[in-house]
Structure 1
């Protein structure tokens, strides 16, 4: 009796599983063809050269100081950009979450406004603003604050400024999404129990907004690691990031193996960053599913 009733149930479950696999097949095909296969090809290129296996492309990380200096500069810029966007984005997200719906929509619209123009256009806009005869230097000179124009581009400063402007929405949006889920009754309860505004913020609101902070910081940090156009235009050859190192190996030296090894190492660094972030806060909390 049990077998006769369980067999139809098992058959029904199998049909549902086959149907789910059939529905997922197009998405899986896209992921495999556009993500898995290129990554495997990239790793293969880094260890296969002149018809045989080699580790010379990875040995350069131990012998060539250019590789180390480029990675250190890239990670330093990523840390600076992440911290500054957090300092700028947290108050914006806090205000947007605290305002009524119609005003919060306006604040978010202003944050998202740069998305309507391409990264290349925004990088050129910063190039015009920060150049020696640009708006910033002209305004400072007319105000009598400087005598000679400041060097704001062709260095790390210009790269960092433009990158912050481009990536700020990626910090604000996760913070805003997390803050909107924080019940206002919790802060009201803390205030009713005698907590000062600063005490309520640091002991209640700030810890609850931590998942959004982690999500925004990971997003901004990882995106900064792969930036190319902004340091190329505003760095002036003095700001050398990993993406530019990959480009030079391909365009100038035609060294696909070296470029692939750099990409693999950077990809492993990104995976390590995600792993460390998941140890701090589970991704279920970061993504808001728990």
Structure 2
């Protein structure tokens, strides 16, 4: 094919940088220096309840953080769409602003806000709403708040882009036919933004499964997630084979989630 030779360097770069490390990681779970080929690492994962509990905990927290992000992000994107031009630019700038700040800095900022002597607890005590500081940090609540903060821009921006493409004449036509605002939203507006919402939700959920910094800091070691277990297996013990087996299982879970999404998307598009 003409021009294919120009693509060879790019293909080689992708294989070396992206594919080779993944293949090597998968291979580590099937090889032991003493025994050779083995499935023992996978056996250890399913025989030790702690690994399965951490995996289930990771999926549960990821789902909760994703749902919270959707509940906040969708109305926020819809609100931005209805603003005037100048106000819309300011709102979008505030949404994009977190991308310019390190995730590490943003995570530590939540300690300043939500700590026992933080701004939020001081305000609650000053208003007389609580007598003692509320434990926002070093539990699942703190981890969920931090993860939601990281995920929101990733949801709001594509949602706003989809909402901005919705033709107002469609909404006006529905209103002229006597449809109430609720019917216009659920029958016209929401279906047009649903593909973007589904894609953003999938992206957020997949990113949650691999979160490391936020759970490690805001969880204080009390909220175990897969990424923290992998860090321990690699940097403390180290046990690369066990870490590879857990990583492979996490990869399979991610692919299953993506397959379910594709299945639902194809079923919806054919209707």
Q: Aligned to 2:264, which of 280, 284, 288? A: 280
Residue 54 (str. 1) matches residue 25 (str. 2): no
Determine which structure has greater relative contact order: mean sequence separation of CA pairs < 8 Å that are 6+ residues apart, divided by chain length: 2
Indicate the residue corresponding to 2:14 in structure 1.
Answer: 31
- Runs (4 or more) in structure 1 with deviation over 6 Å come to none
Indicate the residue corresponding to 2:113 in structure 1.
Answer: 129
Instruction: Indicate the structure (1 or 2) with the bigger Cα radius of gyration.
Output: 1
Kindly state the Cα deviation for residue 100 of structure 1 after the two structures are TM-superposed. Answer: 4.1
Alignment of 1:74-85 (within 5 A): 74-85=58-69
Indicate the residue corresponding to 2:243 in structure 1.
Answer: 259
Indicate the residue corresponding to 1:10 in structure 2.
Answer: none
Residues 45, 245 of structure 2: 8 Å contact kept: no
Q: Deviations over 1:31-82 (max 9, x none)?
A: 1111100011001101101250111111123211111110111111111111
Residue 204 (str. 1) matches residue 192 (str. 2): no
Residue 268 (str. 1) matches residue 258 (str. 2): no
Provide the C-alpha distance between the structure 1 equivalents of 2:2 and 2:256, rounded to a whole number of angstroms. Answer: 35
Residues 147, 214 of structure 2: 8 Å contact kept: yes
Kindly state the Cα deviation for residue 22 of structure 1 after the two structures are TM-superposed. Answer: 2.4
Provide the C-alpha distance between the structure 1 equivalents of 2:257 and 2:6, rounded to a whole number of angstroms. Answer: 32
Indicate the residue corresponding to 1:98 in structure 2.
Answer: 82
Q: TM-score, normalised by structure 1?
A: 0.88
Q: Per the alignment, in what secondary structure is the counterpart of residue 281 of structure 1?
A: helix
Q: TM-score, normalised by structure 2?
A: 0.94
Kindly state the Cα deviation for residue 130 of structure 1 after the two structures are TM-superposed. Answer: 1.2
Provide the C-alpha distance between the structure 2 equivalents of 1:122 and 1:90, rounded to a whole number of angstroms. Answer: 22
Unpaired segments of 5 or more residues in structure 2? Answer: none
Q: Per the alignment, in what secondary structure is the counterpart of residue 18 of structure 1?
A: coil
RMSD: 1.4
* Pairs aligned (count): 266
Unpaired segments of 5 or more residues in structure 1? Answer: 1-16, 286-290
